[in-house]
Amino acid sequence: MAATDFKDYYQILGVSKDASQDEIKKAYRKLARKYHPDLNQGDTQAEQRFKEVNEAQEILSDPEKRNKYDRYGQYWQQAANGTPSDVGVGMDFEQYGGFEDFINELLGRFGGIPRDMGVNQAYGYQTSSFNGFGNREFTNMPVRDSEAAISLTFSEAFHGTLKHLQLGNETIKVRIPPGAKSGSRIKLKGKGQNNPYSQKRGDLYLNVRLIPHSVFRFQGDNITCEIPITPAEAVLGTEINIPTPDGSVSMKVPPGINSGQSLRLKNKGWKTPSGKRSDQIVKLKIVTPQKLTSTEKKYYEKLLQVNSFNPRQSIENTKL
């Protein structure tokens, strides 16, 4: 297949470029039934669609073929064959170890191409006319920005940190400011993809992902934590120690609080870009002891005998 005959197999099957194998198989079966020749006798358009659907399924269901297709776009077959025969005419390819070496040098690939992009999409070139280079003239190649993910612990994100990133053969230092959180984007100017013609580089955007913490969670800009308390503490009220990003602080629990109710610690939450602090939401959970001493059991039994509170009173007579 020539490069100009490139087919978008994802579009043919009607799935996204990050579709799972199960999603691809499901889409293929649905379309294969719809356009099967036995159900569309004499319909040449249905016959052609049936062939395209089968061709798309053959490529996207094969992990190796799909990887080549995703990485090289319209040149995926040349990459699969290991030769650049459809890319250039009259060029000396003996200096290259294979098609991948050739395409790397041709496009100055930086840091790899995202899996959901072909070469065309990632580098933004268009084929416009035939000339002495290869048989195509590459035009309109703007400087392209890049994106990458970076994982941080809650501690690194809260306090800020210095990270060393390996970008191809280049190691760069990235200072993460305090207060980053999942969804934050950090711009590294001039560290993106390289335009092999202008030799200019775009910017690199780091998308922050926070590694889940054992205690803290996010609730909007605030952070939350769930704190267990005993039945007696809930009934009588108490003062307990609460973990915060800065360390433990004392918090009063009012008498008669219910499981699931929340209390707020002002200005004890996450750092904001302005340098201020959000709040920390403390969700209380009443937990019961699984093992009791004989004395504890005696008092619980006595309490049950003298207890006058019935939490189910308002619903006991409910019926349909």
Hey, where are the domains in the chain? 3-139, 146-210, 217-306
Give the least confident one: 99-103, 210-214, 254-258, 279-283.
Answer: 99-103
The CATH number of 3-139 is 1.10.287.110
The pLDDT value given to residue 78? 64
Q: How many CB atoms lie within 10 A of CB 70?
A: 21
Angle at 118 between CA 117 and CA 122, to 5 degrees: 65
Q: Could you tell me which of 59, 79, 83 has the C-alpha nearest to residue 71?
A: 79
> Looking at residues 250-258, what average pLDDT do you find?
96
Give the least confident one: 103-107, 182-186, 206-210, 225-229.
Answer: 103-107
Give the least confident one: 103-112, 257-266, 284-293.
Answer: 103-112
Residue 121 confidence (pLDDT) above 60: no
> Looking at residues 277-286, what average pLDDT do you find?
97
Residue 134 confidence (pLDDT) above 90: no
User: What proportion of the chain, given as a percentage, has pLDDT over 70?
Assistant: 75
Please give the Cα distance from 113 to 146 (Å, whole number): 9
In angstroms, what CA-CA distances link 156 with 182, 274, 281, 303?
12, 18, 21, 48
User: Identical fold at 3-139 and 146-210?
Assistant: no
> Looking at residues 62-78, what average pLDDT do you find?
78
Give the least confident one: 56-60, 87-91, 173-177, 226-230.
Answer: 87-91
* pLDDT tier, 142 (very low <50, low <70, confident <90, very high otherwise): low
The residue with greater pLDDT, 80 or 260, is 260
What does pTM read for this prediction? 0.54
User: What proportion of the chain, given as a percentage, has pLDDT over 90?
Assistant: 44
Which homologous superfamily does the CATH classification assign to the domain defined by 217-306?
Urease metallochaperone UreE, N-terminal domain (2.60.260.20)
Amino acid letter, residue 220: G
* CATH 2.60.260.20 fits domain 146-210: yes
Residue 111 confidence (pLDDT) above 50: no
> Looking at residues 137-144, what average pLDDT do you find?
55
* pLDDT tier, 88 (very low <50, low <70, confident <90, very high otherwise): very low
Residue 93 confidence (pLDDT) above 70: no
Listed in sequence order, the residues at least 6 apart from 68 whose beta carbon sits closer than 8 Å to its beta carbon are 76, 77, 79, 80
In angstroms, what CA-CA distances link 48 with 6, 36, 43?
16, 10, 9
Residue 135 confidence (pLDDT) above 70: no
* pLDDT tier, 104 (very low <50, low <70, confident <90, very high otherwise): low
> Looking at residues 197-204, what average pLDDT do you find?
78
The residue with greater pLDDT, 135 or 235, is 235
Residue 280 confidence (pLDDT) above 80: yes
The residue with greater pLDDT, 200 or 310, is 310
Highest mean pLDDT among 75-79, 167-171, 201-205: 201-205
**Residue 109, phi-psi category: left (phi > 0), alpha (psi -120 to 50), beta (remainder):** beta
> Looking at residues 306-316, what average pLDDT do you find?
91
What is the rounded average pLDDT for all residues in the chain?
A: 80
